[in-house]
Amino acid sequence: MPFYSITSRRIRVLTNKAIEKNDGKPLPLVQKAFIGLTAGAIGACVGSPADLALIRMQADSTLPVAQRRNYKNAFHALYRIIADEGVLALWKGAGPTVVRAMALNMGMLASYDQSVELFRDKLGAGEVSTVLGASAVSGFFASACSLPFDYVKTQIQKMQPDASGKYPYTGSLDCAMKTFKSGGPFKFYTGFPVYCVRIAPHVMMTWIFLNQIQKFEKQLGI
């Protein structure tokens, strides 16, 4: 998620500037959601090749020996993908990757700002309590919004052709429809507790450190 985090950081700066131009008033929830969607889309487009290499390397050990790609490292994976499948293959599964990142960032950014307003303005919480509380809420919503798309993205990126060369899914929509038919809507939330434990702390630490960075920037007059 480094690319997503960096992009979110820059979009966050633009959000603060938008608030300043809005006479210091909080932005509507719809605008916050749109900003989150934009941040996710840009970050995912840049980070999709690295994400593809990661998914394939993680899935390699679960495949039969004859089907393993045996990538040595991330750079070797990227080289092999280009050599074997072409440059555009680096963005294989980019559609669901972008959608997943958009959902994650929408849940992360919009819920954080909204929670800050709730804890600080309505509940009268202090700065530390506000940041921790809003970060926790943000982590939960980031996980809840993104897991269905993450599930589809992972299935698309790690799928292998059968003996006849046919892939199990023709695309993201086909994967989503087959998943829904086989297990219903809750199938997309398989492993949610583990996923939340993986995503939420990252989101929380991102907001906590970002808050400290912003305070440091103010001290420097940046």
| % of the chain beyond a pLDDT of 90 | 20
Give per-residue pLDDT as tens, 125-155.
Answer: 888 899 899 999 999 999 999 999 888 888 8
Question: How far apart, in whole angstroms, are the C-alpha atoms of residue 121 and residue 116?
Answer: 8
DSSP label at residue 25: P
Dihedral (C-alpha) 84, 44, 99, 203: value to the nearest 10 degrees?
130
pLDDT at 6: 54
Give per-residue pLDDT as tens, 158-213.
Answer: 787 777 878 888 888 899 999 999 989 999 998 999 999 999 998 899 888 888 88
Give per-residue pLDDT as tens, 89-121.
Answer: 888 877 777 888 888 888 888 888 889 888 988
Q: What is the average pLDDT across 35-59?
A: 82
pLDDT at 178: 92
Task: Count other C-beta atoms under 10 Å from residue 45's C-beta.
Answer: 16
Ordered by start, the domain boundaries in the chain are 2-220
- The mean predicted confidence, pLDDT, of the chain is 82
Residue 85: half-sphere exposure toward Cβ, Cα within 13 Å: 13
pLDDT at 133: 92
| For residue 56, pLDDT beyond 70 | yes
CATH level 3 topology of 2-220 = Mitochondrial carrier fold (1.50.40)
Q: What is the average pLDDT across 38-53?
A: 82
